[in-house]
Structures are given as C-alpha cells and as structure tokens.
Amino acid sequence: MGTLRVPRHALLAHKLTQLRRRDTPSAAFRRLLAEIGAILTVEALRDLPAMPVAIETPVAPMRAQALAGPEPCLVAVLRAGLGLLEGAQRILPEAPVGHLGLVRDEATLRPSEYVARLPPDLARRGALLLDPMLATGGSAAAAVARLKAAGAAAIRFACVVAAPEGAARLAAEHPDVPVLAAALDERLDERGYIVPGLGDAGDRCFGT
Ligand code: PRP
Ligand code: URA
C-alpha cells in the first residue's frame, strides 16, 4: 500500500493492544500514547543521515556517529496528536514544535483548520507530522498540504492506527510522504471510525 510502513515490534504491538482496550482510562491512554509516540519517532526517523565524529569515552578515543543535520520539526495535529508529541519530544527535546488544529465535521467527514502555528525553519529541517488516527485521510492530507504550503521539504507522517482508505488517499495525494503506522486496520465504518480501531482518540485522550 503506497508509502505505508508498519514495523514489526512486539513492544509496540503490546502497548497498542492496551491503548485499544475499551476499559483503558484516560490517564493510562495518554501515557501509552506518549510511549508509542517515542517508539514511532525512533522508527520514523531511522533513515536520518548520520556523520562520523571524533569523541573520547572515559576509556578511549573513538570515531562515533552523530546526526548530520538539524533535528526535524515536530508537528502535532490537534488534539490527539498532542499525546504522541509528548513522547516524540522525549526523543527530540531540542526540536522546534508546530501545532495544526484540524477538526473533522461529523456529517461530511471533511476537516477544517482552526489554528496553525508552525516553526519558521521547516524548509531546512523537514517535519515529522504526528496524528494517531489516519481514517479517511482527509485530515492527514490537509495537514501535509499545509506544511508544504509553509515550505516544508521532507515531510514524514506517523500515526498509530491507519485505515486502508486513509493510507490509499495519502499515498495518492502525497506520494512523496513516507507513512509509518503501528497498525493497519480492516476498514472504516459508516461514521468514518476505524474498525476495530480504538474509538475517538481525542475524546479518550482528554476525557471529553
Ligand atoms: C481525529 C484524528 C485525526 C482525524 C482522522 O481528529 O485525530 O485528526 O480524526 O480522521 P480523517 O482521517 O478521517 O480525517 P478529530 O477531527 O476527531 O479531532 P480531535 O483530535 O480534536 O478529536
Ligand atoms: N478519528 C478518531 O479519533 N478515531 C477514528 O476511528 C477515526 C477518526
């Protein structure tokens, strides 16, 4: 399926199982989302270029590896992307952070933007876009288009659960954007929810 990658990782699968459970309370849901955000960040950025550096350990000098360029910007799609952002920031504490507020109309399933605060150096750093749910793909496609309009060059998208419909749409509209998901689920239901999914990520995160 296009640019989608689903890593095989027992720990990621284990945490996702806990996240999916109907009876996982909001506080645990947020903690799990942050932990999954950290794992996804490491996976999504595995191809960042590295360069050799000379260092000294307490025992001996050595040639080690360091990032060749600046850390990419982290961009959270509000609201639920904030849960992933917390974990991503543990991995990249120096990365500039952007916020994109998008909400899906419950009837049309179309997203509308209510806030956009993006870092200035998207072109130089690239961006890792974070949103737990890729359902119809409308929100992700709009978010990527917004980042491109703001000048972002290399964009990566990380989500927790993807539906085949959303993955196909994102691959069709933005074939240049690699997509990482912890799971590819079966389908969307008639209300646009991912099946089996995990329910409404924003509501579960914030107890609304
Ligand atoms: C959810 C989710 C995605 C979007 C996915 O957000 O976090 O942003 O739906 O659906 P799509 O692929 O069909 O566009 P929602 O609009 O419910 O907002 P919220 O995070 O504030 O609850
Ligand atoms: N948004 C969610 O939060 N969950 C879904 O299943 C689909 C869209």
> Which CATH number goes with the domain that contains 177?
3.40.50.2020
Check residue 1 and give its pLDDT.
44
Whole domain around residue 29: which residue ranges? 4-206
Q: Does the pLDDT at position 2 exceed 70?
A: no
Average pLDDT for 41-57: 97
Check residue 4 and give its pLDDT.
96
Q: Ligand nearest 193 Cα, by number? A: 2
188 lines ligand 2 (CB under 6 A): no
Residue 16 banded pLDDT, cuts 50, 70, 90: very high
**Structurally, how many domains does the chain consist of?**
1
Q: What is the CA radius of gyration of the chain?
A: 17
Q: Of ligand 1's atoms, which has the minimum distance to the CA of residue 104? A: 16
Closest residue CA from atom 4 of ligand 2: 200
140 lines ligand 2 (CB under 6 A): no
Say how many C-beta atoms besides its own lie within 10 A of residue 169's C-beta: 19
Average pLDDT for 37-50: 97
What amino acid positions are annotated as catalytic residues? 104, 108, 200, 203
- pLDDT single digits (tens) 60-112: 999 999 999 999 999 999 999 999 999 999 999 999 999 999 999 989 999 99
Check residue 80 and give its pLDDT.
96
82 lines ligand 1 (CB under 6 A): no
